[in-house]
Structure 1
Amino acid sequence: MTANTTSAHTARSSVQIVSGIFGAVFLLVGVLGFIPGITKDLDTIMFAGHQSQAALLGLFQVSVLHNIVHLLFGVVGLLGLRSGRLAKTYLILGGIVYAVLWIYGLIVPMESMGNFVPLNTADNWLHFVLAVAMVTTGIVFGRTVRKVTRPAL
């Protein structure tokens, strides 16, 4: 073995970092949705449907299904740390999913059986913000997906 042995360290691109940040936040939100005190009326949580009165931070209506979706979005976002292409795809497609959820939440009456996620007004507008933020960051930071290599210390 020689003293000149080196290994390359690959830095993550901006789009990967943004994907990781979104993923970590979604993972945190998914976990917090199951914690009493942080989620108000957690004892009323349902698997799905508008009857769930549990509210994350007392504001965002959640259900077990809603929390599971956040956890899954979190895992996929963190997987984006591995690949610039996956990160860009996650941000853009995830943003489109949130845009669809925003429109769905505006169209479907909150007390109907169609509101199975469940969604309330706060959720709807958060979904709009997430849609814009995810698509925008996916496009802006995903323009040049490149890996920067630097020598290990």
Structure 2
Amino acid sequence: MSTPVRSTARSPVQLAALVVGATFLLVGVLGFVPGVTTDYASLEWAGHHSHAQLFGIFTVSVLHNIVHLAFGVLGVLAAATAGLARTYLLGGGLIYLVLWVYGLLVDKDTAANFVPLNTADDWLHLGLGLGMIALGIALPRVVATTRPNAGQGRRR
């Protein structure tokens, strides 16, 4: 009688969700690190008055950093199953595409820019959205398995 073997291997889509989630966690934490985030003293809770910039490029606020942390936690948790990982990548990608369109339409100097966003954020959101959707569609949801010594015949 054989005992079922439970595999701990992750499928490619699960690995992608884990990497994307871990990256979001890292970015969320770095958004609170002075030096990595320039003009850190101007970091606001939310809104277009925050002039803090992650890596001196991407405008961030406390809310923006918390969103990154939340997306990170979701990605790490979603990596538990292939179905959740795919949903995370597709859904997250769609959210980032909506955020890209929002960033293109919103007047950057008004209260409507509550996240806050700048042009660099807008184009990053486009890349994130398309990249996450591409990963969710293209990557397999199953773990590739190989048989040991397949095709080698019997040894005598």
Task: Specify the alignment match of 2:73 in structure 1.
Answer: 75
CA distance in 2, matches of 1:7, 1:89: 27
Task: Specify the alignment match of 1:102 in structure 2.
Answer: 100
CA-to-aligned-CA distance 1:29-54 (integer Å, 9 cap, x gap): 00000000000011111110000000
Per the TM alignment, residue 11 of structure 1 is displaced from its structure 2 partner at its CA by 1.0
Task: Specify the alignment match of 1:35 in structure 2.
Answer: 33
| Unaligned segments of structure 1, at least 5 residues | none
CA RMSD for the aligned pairs? 1.9
Larger Rg: 2
- Check conservation: 1:10, 1:147, Cα contact below 8 A: no
Report the 3-state secondary structure (helix = DSSP H, G, I; strand = E; otherwise coil) of the residue aligned with 1:18.
helix
Per the TM alignment, residue 145 of structure 1 is displaced from its structure 2 partner at its CA by 1.8
- Structure 2 length as normaliser, TM-score? 0.88
Per the TM alignment, residue 148 of structure 1 is displaced from its structure 2 partner at its CA by 5.4
- Check conservation: 2:12, 2:143, Cα contact below 8 A: no
CA-to-aligned-CA distance 1:38-84 (integer Å, 9 cap, x gap): 00011111110000000000000000000000000000111122010
Higher relative contact order, chain-length normalized (CA < 8 Å, sep 6+): 1
Higher strand share: 1
The structure 1 segments of at least 4 consecutive aligned residues displaced by more than 2 Å after TM superposition are 4-10, 146-150
CA distance in 2, matches of 1:114, 1:67: 18
Task: Specify the alignment match of 1:124 in structure 2.
Answer: 122
Find 2:142's aligned residue among 140, 146, 149.
146
| Unaligned segments of structure 2, at least 5 residues | 147-156
Per the TM alignment, residue 9 of structure 1 is displaced from its structure 2 partner at its CA by 2.8
Aligned length: 146
Report the 3-state secondary structure (helix = DSSP H, G, I; strand = E; otherwise coil) of the residue aligned with 1:117.
coil
Find 1:55's aligned residue among 53, 56, 60.
53
CA distance in 2, matches of 1:5, 1:100: 48
Percent identical residues: 53
